[in-house]
């Protein structure tokens, strides 16, 4: 029974099943996949008859659409501010030139990049949220399957004959995830402040559709970050007795409740952050007028 269950897993190996795989074998890059020595010689590409290709196909399409839109939005370098709304792709605005391009008049900026930085400041900002998502455990599964077909699904062989894992460059860099997590928290604070500022209409408190859009964006980003596996480890890892750390135990319990939904938050926050930029862009460029509730 146990062997049958494991054989349905992507990670099944005879050595592991027999309990004879050493730690060195488990870590060593080498031949992998269904054509490895010792694996059953099955002629068919896969014996799965369900629509296993749907998940990688949809994932590929959504990620490709996001990459295309984010690239356009980042290099456009205009239409990212319509008071009091700022696009999350341009916040915080780090260049003195922020506010000098169309659709950005009056944007608050820090000027940390000096006066010589004249290209889009978004490329500096996006390093951190994109690094966080690229190294995310959930997104790794998503793009390894959909973009690299490695493997495209469980019990479906990957096209490569060798498996090198994440033990060498460049995938060794995936271990940076815990550091990107802390950077992402800083951005969550900034975007939460932007969401609060989205209710300030020239000194008067008000609510526009954009205010709601920015609040939902901040909430989803927090949910995505707080359900992160690195967050779970940060709050509850490396302790031997939860009973001696009641606060960390409560925090770990909360994060553990969110963690199973991490994939959902990953997709929702990804789509919503792009929609937030699009909304601000349309208002800033005059294509639409932001409806005000009051
Ligand atoms: Fe996905 Fe950390 S595991 S953000």
pLDDT tens readout for residues 10-32: 544 444 434 344 444 444 445 55
> Which atom, in ligand 1's list, is nearest to the CA of 138?
1
The Å distance, Cα 38 to ligand 1 centre, comes to 34
Spell out which residues line ligand 1, taking CB within 6 angstroms: 136-138, 177, 181, 228-230, 262
* Residue from 131, 140, 188, 228 whose mutation best tests the ligand 1 pocket (most atoms within 8 A of CB): 228
Report which of residues 227 and 156 the model is more confident about.
227
Ligand 1 pocket test: pick from 230, 259, 261 the residue with the most ligand atoms within 8 Å of its Cβ. 230
Average pLDDT over residues 104-109: 86
Q: What is the mean pLDDT of residues 147-154?
A: 91
DSSP string, 216-238: HHHHHHHHHHHT-HHHHHHHHSS
Centre of ligand 1 to C-alpha 251, Å, is 17
Nearest to 153 by CA among 161, 144, 162, 140: 144
Give the CA count within 13 Å in the CB-facing half-sphere of 18: 7
pLDDT value at residue 166: 84
Query: In the chain, pLDDT over 90 holds for what percent of residues?
Result: 67
Confidence of residue 54 (pLDDT cuts 50, 70, 90): very high
Ligand 1 atom closest to Cα of 224?
4
Q: What is the pLDDT of residues 154-209, one digit of tens each?
A: 988 888 777 777 888 889 999 999 999 999 999 999 999 999 999 999 999 999 99
CA distance 28 to 20: 15
If DSSP codes are grouped into helix, strand and coil, which group holds residue 249? helix
pLDDT above 50 for 132: yes
Instruction: Return the half-sphere exposure (C-beta side, CA atoms, 13 A cut-off) of residue 33.
Output: 18
Output the residue whose Cα is nearest ligand 1's atom 2.
Answer: 228
Q: What confidence tier does 268 reach under pLDDT thresholds 50, 70, 90? A: very high
5-14, 37-46, 216-225, range with the lowest pLDDT: 5-14
| Interval between CA 260 and ligand 1 midpoint (Å) | 11
> What was the pLDDT predicted at 181?
98
Q: Kindly report the average pLDDT of the chain as a whole number.
A: 87
pLDDT of residue 26: 45
Give whole-number Cα distances, 74 to 61, 96, 120, 144, 249, in Å.
20, 17, 7, 25, 40
Are residues 262 and 62 in contact, defined by beta-carbon separation less than 8 angstroms?
Answer: no
Separation of alpha carbons 172 and 169, rounded Å: 5
Whether the pLDDT of residue 51 is over 90: the answer is yes
Question: How high is the pLDDT of residue 29?
Answer: 47
Counting from 1 in the atom list of ligand 1, the atom nearest the Cα of 266 is 1
What pLDDT was estimated at residue 105?
87
Mean pLDDT of 240-262: 96
CB 211 within 8 A of CB 194: no
Name the pLDDT band for 243 (thresholds 50, 70, 90): very high
State in Å: Cα 250 to ligand 1 middle. 20
């Amino acid at each position: 029974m146990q062997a049958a269950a494991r054989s349905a897993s992507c990670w099944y190996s005879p050595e592991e099943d027999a309990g004879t795989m050493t730690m060195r074998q488990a870590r060593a890059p080498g031949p992998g996949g269904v054509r490895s020595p010792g694996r059953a010689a099955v002629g068919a590409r896969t014996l799965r008859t369900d629509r296993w290709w749907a998940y990688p196909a949809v994932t590929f399409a959504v990620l490709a659409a996001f990459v295309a839109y984010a690239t356009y939005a980042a290099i456009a370098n205009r239409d990212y501010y319509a008071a009091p709304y700022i696009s999350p792709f341009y916040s915080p605005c780090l260049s003195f030139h922020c506010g000098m391009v169309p659709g950005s008049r009056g944007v608050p900026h820090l000027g940390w990049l000096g006066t010589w930085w004249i290209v889009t400041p978004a490329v500096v900002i996006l390093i951190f949220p994109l690094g966080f998502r690229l190294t995310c455990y959930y997104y790794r599964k998503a793009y390894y399957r959909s973009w690299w077909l490695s493997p495209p699904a469980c019990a479906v062989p990957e096209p490569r004959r060798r498996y090198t894992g994440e033990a060498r460059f460049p995938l060794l860099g995936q271990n940076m995830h815990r550091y990107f997590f802390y950077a992402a928290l800083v951005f969550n604070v900034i975007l939460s402040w932007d969401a609060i500022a989205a209710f300030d209409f020239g000194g008067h408190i008000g609510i526009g559709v954009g205010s709601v859009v920015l609040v939902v964006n901040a909430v989803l980003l927090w949910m995505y970050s707080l359900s992160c596996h690195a967050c779970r480890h940060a709050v509850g890892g490396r302790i031997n007795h939860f009973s001696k750390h009641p606060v960390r135990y409560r925090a770990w319990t909360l994060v553990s409740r969110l963690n199973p939904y991490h994939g959902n938050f990953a997709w929702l926050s990804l789509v919503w952050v792009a929609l937030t930029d699009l909304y601000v862009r349309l208002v800033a460029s005059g294509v639409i007028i932001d409806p005000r509730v009051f």
